[in-house]
Amino acid sequence: MRISLSLEESITKDVAIMVDVLRASTTITVALENFNYVMPVKSLKIAESLAKKHHAVLAGERGGASVEWFDTGNSPIQIKNFKGNSLVLTTSNGTRIIEGMKANKILIGSFINAKSIAKAALKIAHGHIEIVMAGVNGRFAIEDFLGAGEIIKYLKNNEMDEYAIAALMASHDKNYVDEIVKKSNSALKLRDLGFGADVEYCLKRNIYETVPLYEKGKIENLNII
């Protein structure tokens, strides 16, 4: 099995795992505990329209800040307070990246479900697993690099490209990883916006076995574990 790591754009036609640690990947994983599916979309306007059409809970952010007229923000902690059939989610980076991915199977991974995501990817991939870091507006985000490394930890006996090897090496020391993520630009911005607790929550390891699978505009839990 070949393991590769890329930023923002996906090239594989096999299995791709989108990683947006702070916070879309984490929020989506948590949401699937209380919703049958999540609909990720790029624009605020489309999100509002879809939510109205499907009588869905509407969640999202721009620049980390919650959208004032939405039901809730892109917060894994806040999303626990909502339940229903469907959730519409729009974010600055993660949902935008998901819509642009062309892989046969698209999974959503983070620290909180890293082991389950890796296990599922190995089961369904034919020869290539690509991990796609969402980044921030096209720029490298260290939290996604380290989150990818956490997933790669459970894929490490396979053939890896140099980026994947680097992420694996960088994620070796849990305490140091936590320290670095908490000091990242994304985390500091979230703290300024009042979402410090979200940062802490996003750094929990393997507390969910949920495997979010994106297909035909919806994200559902892949019951494969």
Number of separate helices (H) and strands (E) present in the chain: 9, 11
pLDDT surpasses 70 at 225: no
Per-domain boundaries in the chain? 2-23+103-215, 27-94
Please list the alpha-helical segments (H only) found in 59-155.
Answer: 94-100, 114-124, 142-152
Q: Work out the pLDDT band at 85, boundaries 50, 70, 90.
A: very high
pLDDT in the model for residue 147 = 98
pLDDT digits 0-9 by tens, 196-215? 999 999 999 999 999 999 99
Q: Give the pairing type, strands 15-19 and 128-133.
A: parallel
At the top level of CATH, the class of 2-23+103-215 is alpha beta
Q: Strands 128-133, 159-160: parallel, antiparallel or unpaired by DSSP?
A: unpaired
Per-residue pLDDT band at 223 (split at 50, 70, 90): confident
Predicted confidence (pLDDT) per residue in 104-154, tens digit: 999 999 999 999 999 999 999 999 999 999 999 999 999 999 999 999 999
DSSP assignment letter at 93: S
Asked whether the beta carbons of 175 and 21 are under 8 A apart, the reply is no
Residues 6+ apart with CB under 8 A from 223: 211
Per-residue pLDDT band at 99 (split at 50, 70, 90): confident
**Mean pLDDT, residues 71-96 taken together:** 97
What are the backbone angles phi and psi of residue 221, rounded to the nearest 5°? -75, 125
What pLDDT does residue 23 have? 97
How far does CA 93 lie from the centroid of its chain? 10
Q: Give the position of tokens 């939510």.
A: 51
Q: What mean pLDDT is reported for the chain? A: 97
65: which strand partners? 62
| Per-residue pLDDT reduced to its tens digit, 163-174 | 999 999 999 999
Find the radius of gyration of the CA atoms of the chain.
16
User: Using 50, 70 and 90 to split pLDDT, how confident is the model at 98?
Assistant: very high
